[in-house]
Chains A and B, each alone.
Chain A
């Protein structure tokens, strides 16, 4: 029982990274129709930025959780304005290639500047240690990650369902022609939404910094799992991204615990099963993926 509790927390913590990043991937796909291959690299940049800011100006994790996503927001908007927007009218494949190329470029630049062994990161004292719960010590940091992820997901959900901006973005996601016909300027929201999606990847990266190796390659495998997450949740579905993220985290943890050799395969088995049963994903709508 204790072990199950530990695995659940570990699964949810891993799922938090997936959920946050997948959320960004989902809003970008929803509004721009772009499958952002560079999302793993943006996650990596978030972690690297946190490590560099800690090293150079001594910025704590607390501050980095706010500053780095803001920097990534600006960076994302620049990427959209300078690069992505020119390819939007063309086949979606072109932006897939662009963002893939961007990944290679960013990874190599980080390698060149910061080497391949990774960067050190020290977490604040308050987030070290463990809390005792039902006879097991649960790492404070994992609980913190889960808390932040849930808060942000809730915030995004409120933003999407309770505000005018959210309504427009949802309308643009689900029925772009109709939204346009009703006089909504969908194009105005494209740049900020792309930036917002990138900022979420950056936030996931900052959260990962104290917990994972900060290397140029850290996003390369992450992005593959992330694609599985959005396929399971339903491409472009916001709820689907969050549920898919936590689900994949749990499958990974329990897979590692009870069938270690198959832990990663299980994620893709889950994906295959979901695609067979519901081709559009758990929360996707058939038309949306067409």
Chain B
């Protein structure tokens, strides 16, 4: 009896929610004019509490606000829209939550563009919503090449990095520099498998070979035996595709294993400066990885990083810088189009050559919506070379934009 009453209550509640959602959907569209609701809403959807919080998280909202400030300062009275808002939501790295939140943001909060969305499966869910709702989505945090490949669409753009770019940078360059014999250790889920595929392709293209791959559970805290096993095959380099806490576990245990003394290098597939900051440079010294951007690259990036540090107390990762750039380029396109109408903004963005604090030799490719730009191969400094906090990276090579990303012809994207 009691249970039945509860169930009835729940269904009434659910119906209420549906009705509200329906109303919300009608709202913004009814407003008319060049701008829906007479304002532009930028929505940040990312991990606000879990493993990717430090990589992007709430600090990206500050980065987006900086882009809004810069836009308003640049155009002043000339700006086509005065009222620009930024809103945010936590997707907890769950594709189903990301899916619901994306609908809420587009429909109820009147978001004109969703930014970021780490975790590939969550990003693909948001891309689908962007396509359905005909609203923009600019991905920064997720790495899957599917976003600009088989599952690309007119309203989705991919910023910063992807698995092809990481493999091409680290895999190819490390191989070409002489480490031809690889062992790969990867977490046994979509991202890890995708990375192994990309890395194997890049290593073989560079004239090397992958002698073995080892799948590990995810998450995992004990890698000692996996590392011994990979080392027993006497490779020249071990490539790890782990991220976050797993990566830290693996690096600590690699340093303990003595493989470094035997000349077996460690190459890391995906790493953010926040990882180095948390574990310390000693642990990562000499590790080579591909970086989409580094705060201490030059005067321009440094100036922005100083502003970011004033606001947050930390130096930015490339995800923070990517969110800034994506928000800024979106607003520039709105300015050029004179409206927040998605189709017109997309038309402005497509094929545009861009140069900003984050994008060097940047271009928003029209064919697959991959945003290409120069990327960097970095080596982690030794403790003696670190001159200030967060001064962890030595850029050993700049990979030009045209070579850094998968060629549009190979993307398999048709919009």
Q: What residues make up the interface of A, taking CB atoms closer than 8 Å to B?
A: 3, 6-7, 10-11, 13-14, 108, 111, 115-120, 122, 130, 137, 139, 141-142, 210-213, 215, 217-218, 221-222, 252-254, 256-257, 260-261, 263-264
Contact = CB atoms under 8 A, between A and B. Distances in A.
B279 A260 contact: no
B258 A3 contact: no
16 contacts: A3-B228, A3-B232, A11-B225, A111-B53, A115-B53, A115-B278, A116-B54, A119-B278, A120-B279, A142-B224, A212-B249, A213-B246, A253-B222, A257-B225, A260-B214, A264-B217
B222 A252 contact: yes
Contacts of A218: 221, 245
Interface centre among A115, A116, A119, A252 (most CB of B within 10 A): A116
Contacts of A10: 222, 224-225, 228
Contacts of A141: 256
B275 interface: yes
B300 to A, nearest CB: 26
Contacts of B217: 263-264
Contacts of B279: 118, 120, 213
Interface centre among B249, B256, B283 (most CB of A within 10 A): B256
Nearest to B222: A14
Interface string B220-263: 11101110110010000000000011101100110011100000
Contact of B219 (A210, A221, A257, A260): A221
B224 A14 contact: yes
Interface in B190-226: 214-217, 219-222, 224-226
A256 B227 CA distance: 10
Contacts of B278: 115, 117-120
Contacts of B224: 10, 13-14, 142, 253
Interface centre among B215, B226, B283 (most CB of A within 10 A): B226
Nearest to B247: A213
Interface string B266-288: 00000000110111101100000
Given A3-B228, A117-B278, A256-B226, A217 B188 contact: no
Given A120-B280, A253-B225, A261-B215, A211 B253 contact: yes
Contacts of B229: 256-257, 260
Contacts of B220: 221, 264
A117 B252 contact: no
A116 B51 contact: yes
Main secondary structure of the interface of A (DSSP, over half): helix
A130 B252 contact: no
A42 B257 CA distance: 28
B50 interface: yes
A212 B248 CA distance: 7
Contacts of B249: 212-213
A213 B51 contact: no
B245 A215 contact: yes
A217 B279 CA distance: 16
A234 B79 CA distance: 71
Contacts of B100: none
B49 A111 contact: yes
A260 B216 contact: yes
Nearest to A108: B49
A222 B221 contact: yes
A139 B225 contact: no
Contacts of B246: 213
**Nearest 6 CB-CB pairings of A with B:** A117-B278, A213-B248, A256-B225, A120-B280, A10-B224, A117-B54
Contact of A117 (B244, B253, B258): B244
A253 B252 CA distance: 17
Contacts of B275: 117
Given A139-B257, A211-B256, A213-B248, A7 B53 contact: no
Nearest to B57: A116
Contacts of B216: 256, 260, 263
A130 B258 contact: yes
B51 A217 contact: yes
Contacts of A13: 224
Contacts of A260: 214-216, 226, 229
B233 to A, nearest CB: 11
A157 B52 CA distance: 43
Contacts of A139: 256-258
A108 B92 CA distance: 13
Contacts of A108: 49
Given A6-B228, A118-B245, A260-B226, A212 B252 contact: yes
Given A115-B53, A120-B280, A221 B221 contact: yes
Nearest to B54: A117
A286 B204 CA distance: 59
Contacts of B54: 115-117
A63 B270 CA distance: 36
A212 B216 CA distance: 16
Nearest to B223: A256
B252 A211 contact: yes
Interface centre among B226, B228, B246, B283 (most CB of A within 10 A): B228
Nearest to B275: A117
Nearest to A120: B280
Nearest to A209: B252
Nearest to B226: A256
A141 B188 CA distance: 28
Interface string B43-68: 00000011111110000000000000
Contact of B245 (A142, A213, A253, A257): A213
A15 to B, nearest CB: 10
A122 B282 contact: yes
A215 B50 CA distance: 11
B189 to A, nearest CB: 13
